[in-house]
């Protein structure tokens, strides 16, 4: 397997181990939620920094044998969004637990799940809009060479519709996983 694949699978295994160990421990629920939020958020940040800044594993056009190409539905970028969805679900739960007067969660478990998924969906859509706006400003106003079909250069944040839909899908899947964890 490739290095990005090992990194992704190790990160997911670490996040699952932390949440499962926390679920079996006798730590109070509020404290455990804080630990889970901090650990999954740290893993997400490290995965994002490694893929976006340090190693370029999340660059468009980068392909891995096992993860696929990044500028499509899945790939390294998809796992970043999956971990974001989990971290965002934990963040919503943590905020509502920490500040009960400002809680947006209803008492019903399934209604709470719907609210959490909706909040993560809103955050994901806002992120995708920001990526689109960055591409539009870079191409139309600053005339940066982000795209050249002849030289096969595609440095757009939103290279295809499949990338956008994949990002949203994996963030929603992450929010559902985060809620059930």
Q: Which residue has the tokens 């002849």?
A: 150
pLDDT of residue 115: 92
Structure tokens at 168: 């949203």
Instruction: Tell me the pLDDT tens digit for each residue of 19-29.
Output: 777 767 777 77
d(CA 113, CA 134): 32
Of 177, 176, 181, 157, nearest to 167 by C-alpha is 157
Look at residue 44 and tell me whether its pLDDT is greater than 90.
no
* Proportion of the chain above pLDDT 70, given as a percent: 80
């Amino acid at each position: 397997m490739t290095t990005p694949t090992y990194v992704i699978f190790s990160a997911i295994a670490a996040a699952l181990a932390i949440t499962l160990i926390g679920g079996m421990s006798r730590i109070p629920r509020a404290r455990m939620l804080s630990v889970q939020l901090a650990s999954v958020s740290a893993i997400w940040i490290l995965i994002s920094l490694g893929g976006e800044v340090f190693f370029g594993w999340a660059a468009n056009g980068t392909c891995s044998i096992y993860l696929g190409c990044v500028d499509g539905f899945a790939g390294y970028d998809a796992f970043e969004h999956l971990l974001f969805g989990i971290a965002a679900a934990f963040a919503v739960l943590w905020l509502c637990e920490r500040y009960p007067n400002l809680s947006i969660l209803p008492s019903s478990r399934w209604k709470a799940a719907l609210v959490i998924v909706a909040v993560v969906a809103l955050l994901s859509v806002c992120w995708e809009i920001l990526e689109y706006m960055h591409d539009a400003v870079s191409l139309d106003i600053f005339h940066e060479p982000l795209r050249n079909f002849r030289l096969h250069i595609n440095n757009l944040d939103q290279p295809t519709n499949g990338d956008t839909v994949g990002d949203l899908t994996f963030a929603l899947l992450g929010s559902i996983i985060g809620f059930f964890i």
